[in-house]
Chains A and B, each alone.
Chain A
Amino acid sequence: MDKKFSGKIWKFGNDIDTDTIIPGRRGTIPTIEEMKQYAFELLKPEFGSTVQAGDILVAGTNFGCGSSREQAATVLSANGVRCIIAKSFARIFFRNAFNSGILLLQCDGIQDVCDGGDIVTVDIDAKTVSVNGKTFPVGEVPENLFNIVANGGLIEDTKKRIAEGIKKLEITPLTDKERRKSGYTLVEKILKNNAGKHHVEPGDIVITKPDMFMVHDIYTTYLLDTMKKIGADKIDDPDKVTIVWDHCMPTAVAKNDYDHYHAGLELAKLYGIKKLHIGEGICHSIMHEKKYARPGEVATATDSHTTTYGGAGNFCSGIGTAEMAAALITGELWFKVPSAIKIVLNGHLKEGVLSKDIILKILGDIKADGGQYKSLEFTGTAAHEMSMMARFTMANMALEAGAKCGLFEADEKTAEYYGMSLSEIDWVRMDDDAKYEKVLTYNVDELEPQLSCPQGVDNVHPIHEILGTKIDEVYLGSCTNGSLEDLAIAAKMMEGKKVAYGLRFIVCPATNKVFKDAIEAGYIRTFIEAGGVVVHPCCGLCCGMPYGLMTDDERILSTANRNFIGRQGTKKTLSYLSSPAVAAATAIAGVVTDPRTMIN
């Protein structure tokens, strides 16, 4: 594939979703070769039979939105499409397309001067696209990423790189002065530092060398399979990898979980991975508790809530299995630099109101797609007053707004948690002259507890609208709110009290350390004496594992991060999300209760 090439245009409008690209009902066709003729069959029925290898798609905004169907990218790739130019791309499609061997270029303007059938010329080195005598700028495409496309996708590229002997990407680290250069958002600063770039801006693609990779047991089987397909006999750096058994451990779904358990052990053995945490708690909590994900560094994992460590100013985002395989082998991972939204939290949180309430309020305001491929960056008095655990809670749920990451500045509290000196990490802060796409300001003084209501994380209501709703089960746990601090808040409210008649109260400490500390502090005793049951640290009910599943029309209130339909029971189970304080108050009362009425 040349750096400069031309192709015939197929033109599309805005919001072309993955169902338009390939209808869901075609998704079960066994091979991509058979499936590819149905691409765009509803919108442009002639596409499948007339598209030529090398044709280029030009579209409006949000190309590839809708479901995360990977086939939307692979059918286009199978049809010979090697390049798509659009005003913007949906987040998941963006990664899927590159990894399937399609070059995506963001360009606003070309759409107005071209028609289907025109010829567009792409010049990667010049960073331009030209059509009908007009030329428009596009972002930079790094060499390695271009090679992924040129080699026909990530897996093929990785195979080729192994065959040639992997050449390590040379990165000259920035000096302290360089990384402190002003004018950047948090995400720009961290990515630029890791990639050794002197300047980046939103839309740029950077090749990073993540400082830590985490794989959890849901993906051990698929990862093992992909690694074998690629034929990898070693990985870049086993010391930068940790495997956590938390979704399928304790093994609970008989015919599946054992397989994930054994696959993780095999991965560890094959590739010499030593950082293993088998049934010791939830991966995201372990990542910061063990200090694997550190301020100013880059971490990645095979999970959507990887955004958690952003609470410590760590850039972290979830990736798929194929990407993880390639990244483990090469030690490299590309990211498109996200644009950022600055969220200023003024004022002071009142007793009984927690960081969970703030993030729920924000999610309710900006909705589930309000942060699509953006970096949500938190600052302000309340942000700096928050404990590290409270910050992790918010960063964890930034993902629920579609965000690429949720970042806090590194301050004294961050330094203390990590046992570092502040001067090492205080470059992880927002610059006054940074360019933010938007600034949202909240005064948390007046904030009341919030609840995410059935059935969607962004269906958020202030508690006074929900008070008195009967609840059948309360779940205290998850990587969002399963820390010692969260357990302490609930335990102090529940001491000497009993859970409501018939209500099931389930507690799942986030990690073994939290569990042991909570035993030591007497919190576990309080929960058991109150009539609760305590389960071993794991992802548990949060991800729908069998730790308190519910039946039709029952209501669960949980401190976790998702209340999608059917996640904690049947399609008719109603799920609410809240802070640990609301959870404790509700467990005692049996109906949704404002914790402030119990504290005072």
Chain B
Amino acid sequence: MSTFIERILGKEAGSVATIMADYVVINDGISNAAVDEISAVGNQEKVWVIHDHDVPTGSTEAAGILRKNLEFATRNGCHYVQAQGVGYQYMLNDIIKPGEIIIGGGTHGSIFGAKKALGINVSIPELARIAETGRYSVIVPETVSVTLTGNLQESVSVMDAAMDFLTKASDVKGKVIEFGCPSLDDHQKAVLCSMACMTGAYAAVIVEEQSEQAVVLDLTNVKPMIMMPCASRSEQDQAKIAEKSVLEGTELQAGQIGGYTGGTIEELRTAAGLIKDKKLARGFRLSICPATSKDYIQAMEEGIITKFIDYGAQIQAPGDHSVVTQGAGAMGHNEKLLTTGLYTFAGAMGCEDAEVYTASVNSVIAASYTKLI
């Protein structure tokens, strides 16, 4: 039986495959560096330039990056997208179709596996080269199968399951993970796939049929998890993950719910349900960042945004606010933040000595009325 990656790349594992990418995505986060290296775009229809990180711009330097990206897109006739929210989520919902190949310069491109498309993360020079030629070559990776059985307990989220998986995954570096997870919904599948690559896996995908050798993980046993601060961006994949209970009682100053892990309509509904009859703790700042403009509009229509406003939360513009050096939600000296964002390195959310912890929406909301983990 051939694997997903073998079918989509058209070659057997271990052999060299060369394909044409369907999408090359450049944003104002990390991948804008590729713009400096691209002389001319090969196929303008396939290159998408997205403004989704520093929304609205938090510094004059960020504005310079936007200018550069906009001029690049205009000059080459590429797609230019802004004010739609997190690029991954926007592409996943509105653009990508099963079987397509999306190449970007980030870390969580595996999210597209939730739609049976292939999301690949490459280095900046390689991203630039692919934008110029459209061509991508790779030795087709091995595949490992993981089956998630059972159901998540109430107040345990798919983020906890994904973090739990990260602590248990072994021997997946450079490989493709095929997840069988019949009990998860589409949104949960997206979170699982996106976070799966934090193991160093090449890509992840949701499948219906599983190999018999699949590793089995029982969702029933998953406990609320937390990802600890780490020293630098390059060490993010080594950030310690533990059961949340080990930090129980730690005082926090702020919480953030956003991105595709916390800002989708599904997660916003969960959060809105959890604040009912609760009061935001004095001294706790809560940011709500809808993932996309569609999520924002849907949440408004359902009255959810108004509930958050009344709760005392700050509603941010749709976008990827998981790294904010200057802008709404930035943290001060020695403050502690609990976020659904996936970056906990020093300085990710403001001051170098601010500590950032990652947890689920349930955990962030619980903290918002207790001020404690």
Contacts and interface: CB of A to CB of B under 8 A. Distances in A.
A533 B83 contact: yes
B354 A254 contact: yes
Interface string B32-69: 00000000000000000000000111111111101100
Contacts of A279: 285, 312, 314
A535 B321 CA distance: 13
Interface residues of B, number: 52
A252 B333 contact: no
Contact of B316 (A250, A257, A506, A569): A250
A265 interface: yes
Nearest to A547: B56
B332 A249 contact: no
Interface string A482-504: 00000000000000000101101
Interface in B282-317: 282-283, 285, 287, 293, 296-297, 300-301, 305-306, 309-310, 312, 314-317
A570 interface: yes
Interface stretch (A72-80, A183-191, A511-519): A511-519
Interface stretch (A147-155, A359-367, A523-531): A523-531
Interface in A558-586: 569-570, 573
Contacts of B312: 278-280
B27 to A, nearest CB: 15
B330 A551 contact: no
A502 B327 CA distance: 21
Contacts of A258: 253, 331-333, 335
A172 B293 CA distance: 58
Contacts of A546: 56-59, 326-328
Interface in B237-257: 253-254
A477 to B, nearest CB: 11
Contacts of B67: 551, 554
A528 B83 contact: yes
A250 B314 contact: yes
Interface residues of A, number: 50
Contact of B328 (A250, A255, A502, A519): A250
B318 interface: yes
A505 B335 CA distance: 32
A535 B316 contact: yes
A580 to B, nearest CB: 18
Contacts of A573: 60
Contacts of A254: 325-326, 330-332, 350-351, 354
B282 A516 contact: no
A250 B332 CA distance: 12
A550 interface: yes
Contact of A535 (B56, B305, B310, B354): B56
A536 B83 contact: no
Contacts of B137: none
Contact of B83 (A265, A505, A554): A505
B285 A554 contact: no
Contacts of B351: 254-255
Nearest to B335: A258
A427 B287 CA distance: 46
A519 B302 CA distance: 11
Nearest to A572: B60
B126 to A, nearest CB: 27
A512 B351 CA distance: 28
A226 interface: no
Interface in A530-564: 531-536, 541, 546-552, 554
Contacts of B326: 252-254, 546
Given A516-B309, A528-B293, A550-B57, A536 B314 contact: yes
A443 interface: no
B80 interface: yes
Contacts of A499: 83
B56 A504 contact: yes
Contact of A524 (B59, B300, B331): B300
A252 B58 contact: yes
A261 interface: yes
A261 B315 CA distance: 17
B74 interface: yes
Contact of B59 (A259, A532, A549): A549
Interface string B330-373: 11110100000000000000110010000000000000000000
Contact of B285 (A250, A520, A548): A250
A251 B329 contact: yes
Given A279-B285, A534-B317, A506 B331 contact: no
B280 to A, nearest CB: 9
Contacts of B66: 504, 551
A279 B329 CA distance: 12
A255 B334 CA distance: 10
B271 to A, nearest CB: 16
A505 B314 CA distance: 19
Interface string B96-137: 000000000000000000000000000000000000000000
A84 B351 CA distance: 48
B161 interface: no
A519 B57 CA distance: 24
B82 interface: yes
Contact of A251 (B64, B293, B330): B330
A525 B310 CA distance: 19
A525 B297 contact: yes
A139 to B, nearest CB: 47
Nearest to B347: A254
Nearest to B63: A551
B56 A536 contact: no
Nearest to B305: A519
- From A265, A512, A548, residue with most partner B Cβ within 10 Å: A548
A528 B87 CA distance: 16
Contacts of A547: 56, 58, 327-328
Given A549-B58, A551-B64, A255 B332 contact: yes
A550 B82 contact: no
Contacts of B335: 258
Contact of A554 (B63, B282, B330, B350): B63
Given A265-B282, A533-B56, A250 B297 contact: no
B83 A551 contact: no
Contacts of B82: 502, 504, 531
Contacts of A532: 83
Nearest to A505: B83
Contacts of A259: 332
A254 B326 CA distance: 6
B56 to A, nearest CB: 4
A541 B56 CA distance: 10
Nearest to A531: B83
B70 interface: yes
Contacts of B56: 504, 506, 533, 535, 541, 546-548
Contacts of B55: 533
Nearest to A540: B56
B330 A515 contact: no
Nearest to A512: B309
19 contacts: A249-B285, A250-B287, A250-B329, A251-B254, A252-B326, A253-B330, A254-B331, A255-B333, A258-B253, A265-B283, A528-B293, A528-B297, A529-B297, A535-B328, A546-B328, A547-B56, A551-B60, A569-B63, A570-B60
- The 9 A-B pairs at the shortest CB distance, nearest first, are namely A258-B332, A254-B350, A546-B58, A548-B56, A551-B63, A533-B317, A250-B328, A254-B330, A250-B314
Given A252-B328, A502-B80, A552-B64, 9 more contacts: A250-B329, A258-B253, A506-B56, A528-B297, A529-B297, A534-B296, A536-B314, A546-B56, A549-B60
Interface of A: 249-259, 261-262, 265, 278-280, 499, 501-502, 504-506, 512, 515-516, 519-520, 524-525, 528-529, 531-536, 541, 546-552, 554, 569-570, 573
Interface of B: 55-64, 66-67, 70, 74, 80, 82-83, 253-254, 282-283, 285, 287, 293, 296-297, 300-301, 305-306, 309-310, 312, 314-319, 325-333, 335, 350-351, 354
